[in-house]
C-alpha cells in the first residue's frame, strides 16, 4: 500500500526510523528494509524498500532526505513569520532596534522586553484544552524576539556594509 500524502504528513517525523522489513527478520543488509513511523508497535507509516542493491542504505537516504526537506520547510516558514513580524515593526521610529544610531543598550532593552513577553507566556500554567492557543501565543512571542533580534542585526549590517542585501555569512 502506498501511503497518502495526508498520512505521511500526520505522522510525527521524529518517530520515523529505518527498520528491517517484516520479511527480513535476520536484518540481512541486502534484504528488504523499511521506513517506519509512529509511536506504537504498529506503525502509522510503513514504506518498504525491496528492489534496490542496498535497500537499507536507500531507506536511510530517503529518511534523511525527507527529514532535511521537512526541516527546510519549517525553517522557511519560521523565517517568513519572523519577516512578517519584522515588516510590521515601525520603520520610521527612531527608537526602533533597526535604527543604527540607537545606542546598543537601548536595542538590548527592546530585546529584553521581547524576551520578557516570552518568559511571561512560558511561565503560564495552561489547561489541557487551551494548549493550542498557548502554542500560538508562544510562537508569536518567539517570532517577536526573533524579529527584534533581526532588527538589531540589520542595524549592525547597515553600519558595516553599504549594500543592504549583503550579509556577512560569518556568523
For 113-169, the pLDDT digits (tens) are: 999 999 999 998 999 999 999 999 999 999 999 999 998 898 888 888 666 566 666
Distances (CA, A) of 38 to 2, 10, 148, 160, 163: 16, 10, 37, 49, 48
Write down the domain spans for the chain: 5-68, 92-171
Model pTM above 0.85: no
Amino acid at each position: 500500500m502506498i501511503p497518502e500524502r495526508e498520512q505521511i504528513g500526520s505522522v510525527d517525523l521524529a518517530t520515523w526510523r529505518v527498520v528491517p522489513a517484516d520479511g527480513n527478520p535476520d536484518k540481512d543488509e541486502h534484504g528488504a528494509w523499511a521506513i517506519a513511523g509512529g509511536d506504537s508497535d504498529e506503525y502509522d507509516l510503513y514504506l518498504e524498500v525491496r528492489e534496490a542493491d542496498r535497500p537499507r542504505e536507500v531507506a536511510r537516504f530517503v529518511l534523511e532526505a525527507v527529514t532535511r526537506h521537512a526541516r527546510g520547510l519549517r525553517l522557511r516558514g519560521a523565517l517568513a513569520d519572523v519577516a512578517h513580524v519584522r515588516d510590521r515593526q515601525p520603520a520610521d521610529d527612531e527608537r526602533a532596534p533597526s535604527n543604527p544610531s540607537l545606542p546598543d543598550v537601548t536595542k538590548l532593552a527592546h530585546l529584553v522586553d521581547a524576551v520578557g513577553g516570552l518568559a511571561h507566556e512560558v511561565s503560564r500554567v495552561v489547561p489541557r484544552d487551551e494548549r493550542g492557543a498557548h502554542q500560538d501565543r508562544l510562537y508569536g512571542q518567539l517570532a517577536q524576539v526573533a524579529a527584534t533580534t533581526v532588527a538589531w542585526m540589520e542595524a549592525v549590517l547597515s553600519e558595516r556594509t553599504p549594500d543592504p542585501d549583503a550579509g556577512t555569512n560569518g556568523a
